[in-house]
Chains A and B, each alone.
Chain A
Amino acid sequence: ETGVTQTPRHLVMGMTNKKSLKCEQHLGHNAMYWYKQSAKKPLELMFVYNFKEQTENNSVPSRFSPECPNSSHLFLHLHTLQPEDSALYLCASSQASGSAEQYFGPGTRLTVT
């Protein structure tokens, strides 16, 4: 098992709902990431946080709102999603170094109805 946990593991939500995904890392890392994995497509980087500061927003729609209150926790707040947002959302962490190995959580399977 990795030192990165994600909750919930599965989520079904309507297009008008508001929900949040949570990620926690127990590895003492300082960088955290959100990725999206859609069917038949490569993983896409969404957001990067380094020492709690957002350093990357990969042109993600505003209906996805990240929050990083400290180096161990990362949230992804969701509102007014579209069916095409259904995907596996993966959280990862690493040391705050460009050459650092990234460790992934198990993911949240999101279905938007």
Chain B
Amino acid sequence: KQEVTQIPAALSVPEGENLVLNCSFTDSAIYNLQWFRQDPGKGLTSLLLIQSSQREQTSGRLNASLDKSSGRSTLYIAASQPGDSATYLCAVGANDYKLSFGAGTTVTVRA
């Protein structure tokens, strides 16, 4: 069974600092890895999808890397803003449509 771990569970940084969020998974036989953002009481917003054949994906201030062999992904958010405050979820996709989620990292960006 795929186990997904996100460290740290919570993170508080001053505005402008770069954010580094970590995700690790136990089974390297993955199809893809997806990073989501969730605001309190709301649904999930997809941020980046990395296919198993890719090493990284970028969108604006966001960059996600994937190292399948070591079972790790990292989400970088450059020049953080108070609007980046949310919970960030990592989800590992298998070839049967299943996503295994981590518990998330709750980020607070202080103005």
Q: Is A31 an interface residue (CB 8 A)?
A: yes
B31 adjacent to A45 (CB under 8 Å): no
Contact of B98 among A41, A42, A45, A99 (CB under 8 A): A45
Instruction: Indicate whether B34 reaches chain A with its CB closer than 8 angstroms.
Output: yes
Q: Are B42 and A99 touching (Cβ within 8 A)?
A: no
CA distance A26 to B34 in the complex (A): 21
B44-A90 in contact (CB<8A): yes
CB of A42 to closest CB in B, whole Å: 4
Please tell me if the beta carbons of A98 and B42 are within 8 angstroms of each other in the complex.
Answer: no
Q: How many residues of B contact A (CB 8 A)?
A: 27
Interface, chain B (partner A; CB < 8 A): 4, 31-32, 34, 36, 41-46, 49, 51-52, 89, 91, 93-99, 101-104
- Residue pairs across A and B with Cβ atoms less than 8 A apart, 23 shown, are A2-B45, A4-B43, A42-B101, A43-B101, A50-B97, A55-B96, A56-B96, A56-B97, A56-B98, A88-B41, A90-B43, A98-B96, A98-B97, A99-B32, A99-B51, A99-B52, A99-B95, A101-B46, A101-B49, A102-B91, A104-B45, A104-B46, A107-B43
CA distance A55 to B92 in the complex (A): 19
Overall SS of chain A's interface: strand
**Which of chain B's residues has its CB closest to A91's CB?**
B43
For B32, the chain A residues whose CB sits under 8 A away are 99, 101
In chain A, positions 40-58 with a C-beta closer than 8 Å to chain B are 40-43, 45, 48, 50, 55-56
Total count of chain A residues near the partner, CB < 8 A:
29
Taking a contact as CB atoms under 8 Å apart, the answer to whether B41 and A109 are in contact is: yes
Q: Which of the listed residues B89, B91, B96, B99 has the most CB atoms from chain A within 10 Å of its own CB?
A: B99
How near does chain A come to B96, taking the closest CB pair, in angstroms? Answer: 6
Flag whether A103 is at the interface (Cβ < 8 A): yes
